[in-house]
Amino acid sequence: MAKTLALTGNEAAAYAMMQINPDVVAAYPITPQTALMQKFADFVADGDVDTELILVESEHSAMSATVGASAAGARAMTATAANGLALMWEIVYIAASTRLPIVMPVINRALSAPINILCDHSDSMGCRDSGWIQIYSENAQEAYENTIQAVRIAEHPNVFLPVMVTLDGFIISHGMEDVTILEKAEVQNFVGQYKPHYPLLDPDKPVSYGAIDFHDYYFEHKRPQADAMENAKGVILEVGREFAALNGRELGLFEAYRMDDAEIVTIILGSTAGTARPVVDELRRKGIKAGLLKLRVFRPFPAEELATALKGKKAIAVLDRAISFGAYGGPLFMEICSALFNTGVHIPVLNFLYGLGGRAAEIENIEEVYEKLQNIAKTGKVDNFLNYLNLRE
Amino acid sequence: MPGLKELSKKEELLCGGHRMCPGCAAPVIVRQILLSADTHVVVGSATGCLEVSSSIFPYTSWRCSWIHNAFENVASTISGVETAYRALKKRGRLDAEYRFLAFGGDGGTYDIGLQALSGALERGHRMLYICYDNEAYMNTGIQRSSSTPLGAHTTTSPAGKVIPGKKEFPKDLTGIVAAHNVPYVAQASPSHWRDLTKKVAKALDAEGPSFINIISPCPPGWVYPQHLTIKMARMAVETCFWPLYEVEKGVWKITYTPKEKKPFDEWSKQQGRFRHLYEPRNRHILEKAQVEVDRRWKELQRRAT
């Protein structure tokens, strides 16, 4: 039986981890992830899990120990944010390329400098090419559900890739909401027991991990990794459907909100989608055909699916909570443009960079986005595709 | 302790056919160590000579389970493996007995891996960390590390017209590890194989982290003929540049005292990396090195009484 608790996003993710009861968790404190691991440490101390918790001396070692534990044959998890993710960068890539199904909540926070502990997506966006599946959460409920589903996605035999579950720092990690959680037994049953592929700890079959590859093999080892990422798309949908049988909420690759007859659409990752929903409702009341596309899965990027959903719209705004310096727009914008271009969908696309370093994205900021979209929908003309939202200039 | 004859019949966990240089001490050290293990083992390797030379895909030289993760993190990687072992044992998913070993060179241990090593020691993982210390970054082409001796020529501390090689004394890593108060810490040499294998047996029995720092002569890096490797290791011991000792539960003990302590120069003069120190203008560096070797030896004797 499901029950509803008042939980912060960090607590919701920690609850998911408690119900998963992984074999090994490595932890190192960083704001705003700290509260998650504190909660999980409580679960360990109180015997709610029998996970072995390694309290390492850095994030680099957190990911290194998680890699060691996962290769050994354990279900292993860690969590981090911002500079912590940046410090473990080297091993983030190694985890993915060693095909280890690690699950890691990332509490999105701005990267230094200047040092800033508040939300943006520069940390997870920075490792969008690392080979990790990336699932973004709008709220604490999704942080809970995504963390549980991530285990099944990562460990699927056609995938075997690590999964990053992101939630917006402070906005979600420290905001308290009603979260409906499953029984521990239901979660245990859902995730099942981990079946490692080639564990180090198999006395009958010793294995070597981390061999050196040269020009003669490296490329051949990258291709199946790319294929596994592609396979993940179907697995994410399948796992989402299976989970929906437990709680009645199905999470897909993205959520299309009032999209069917929409003419103007914003595309958003994370908590700001929750701010945009009432704006869409208000515009609809005024007879304006506004829609919202909340992207849940950024890696693998559902390009064809998005292009299909966006086809026939009059104007699109992509909201990016990270800058890709020197690039043609933010990371999400570039991906959306590529998806549309290659599928022959020609719609004006605006890019809004917003929310860096915790800068608020309020209702009125989102209204401004839709206003611009309305003008473009009328005129078909884009003067300046790149916009900075809620910035003093 | 089994004798050499018995050990020679045991299956080796590091196979021949690896690509280490002729005369390299590291595979000799690894084989001596692995012969001392009576259980299953998982070996972790830091990036370095041993790692790249023993795992060229699609081959592996390792008959036991082996993991290489990166350069600076073999201690944290093996601590993850060891933790997984405890987790799986606790949950009844594994019966077999295992021991966990990590191999890092001096670059991966004294320098870039020191933090990970310190963390793993403090956390108390039951693992044996071996530093095979060849006194420079040999894998990348002989760059100085914090283990490189005073005056030694390396490609980043070259013997130039103005600066005659490395300016600093090596870091006392064994002492730093001992300061973590782990159950077993030792310094050893492949020239004294019985001393080394005894130390390995003690280290593997220790209920907690153990560490052995082992001198590992390198013909291309130290510049001496390949067949003299074991002699180079022995001379490092006989000069007390590399004393053999152990720190067992906090008790310091010298495990080998040379009958007659040889001058530092008898070791250094056989290696091309010190050649420039024999020019008259650089003789003072040799003298300085001797003073420091003597001071450290005295300090060790004081600790061991």
Domain ranges, ordered by start, for chain B: 4-303
Q: pLDDT digit string (tens) for B109-122?
A: 999 999 999 999 99
Contact B70 A94 (CB under 8 A): yes
Tokens describing residue B288: 């300085």
Nearest to A64 among B58, B60, B73 (CB): B73
Q: How many residue pairs from chains A and B have C-beta atoms closer than 8 A?
A: 161
| CA-closest candidate to residue A141, choices A116, A114, A178, A187 | A178
Give the pLDDT of residue B5: 84
Q: In CATH terms, is domain A3-191+226-247 a member of 3.40.50.12710? A: no
Nearest to A67 among B52, B63, B77 (CB): B77
Nearest to B65 among A61, A65, A207 (CB): A207
Ranges in chain A annotated CATH 3.40.50.970: 3-191+226-247
Q: Is B163 on the interface with A (CB under 8 A)?
A: no
Q: How far is B276 from chain A (nearest CA, A)?
A: 37
B33, B38, B42, B44: CA torsion to nearest 10: -10
Q: Is B62 on the interface with A (CB under 8 A)?
A: yes
Contact B81 A69 (CB under 8 A): yes
Share of chain A above pLDDT 90, in %: 99
Mean pLDDT (whole number) for A355-383: 96
pTM over 0.80: yes
Which residues from chain B sit within 8 angstroms of residue A68, using beta carbons? 44, 67, 69, 76-84
Mean pLDDT (whole number) for A45-52: 98
CATH superfamily of B4-303: Thiamin diphosphate (ThDP)-binding fold, Pyr/PP domains (3.40.50.970)
Q: What is the DSSP letter of A79?
A: -
Q: Is B102 on the interface with A (CB under 8 A)?
A: no
Q: How far is A73 from chain B (nearest CA, A)?
A: 7
> Cα A386 from chain centroid?
24
Give the pLDDT of residue A1: 66
- How much is the ipTM here? 0.97
Mean pLDDT (whole number) for B53-77: 98
B74 near B108, Cβ under 8 Å? yes
Contact A26 B80 (CB under 8 A): yes
- Mean pLDDT, chain A, whole residue set: 97
> Cα A381 from chain centroid?
33
Question: Residue B115: closest CA among chain A residues belongs to which residue?
Answer: A57
Q: How confident is the model at residue B1 (pLDDT cuts 50, 70, 90)?
A: low
Q: How far is B76 from chain A (nearest CA, A)?
A: 5
Q: What class has domain A254-388?
A: alpha beta
Q: How far is A223 from chain B (nearest CA, A)?
A: 16
B106 near B143, Cβ under 8 Å? no
Cα A356 to Cα A267, A319, B48, B49, B239: the distances in Å are 17, 11, 40, 44, 61
Q: pLDDT digit string (tens) for B66-112?
A: 999 999 999 999 999 999 999 999 999 999 999 999 999 999 999 99
Q: How confident is the model at residue A140 (pLDDT cuts 50, 70, 90)?
A: very high
| CA-closest candidate to residue A4, choices A182, A246, A190, A250 | A182
Mean pLDDT (whole number) for B4-26: 92
| CA-closest candidate to residue B191, choices B229, B220, B223, B134 | B229
3-state secondary structure string, chain B?
CCCHHHHHHCCCCECCCCCCCCCCCHHHHHHHHHCCCCCEEEEEECCCHHHHHHCECCCCCECCEEEECCCCCHHHHHHHHHHHHHHHHHCCCCCCCEEEEEEEEHHHHHHCCHHHHHHHHHHCCCCEEEEEECCCECCCCCECCCCCCCCCCCCCCCECCCCECCCCCCCCHHHHHHCCCCCEEEEECCCCHHHHHHHHHHHHHCCCCEEEEEECCCHHHHHCCHHHHHHHHHHHHHCCCCCEEEEECCEEEEEECCCCCCCHHHHHCCCHHHHHHHCHHHHHHHHHHHHHHHHHHHHHHHHCC
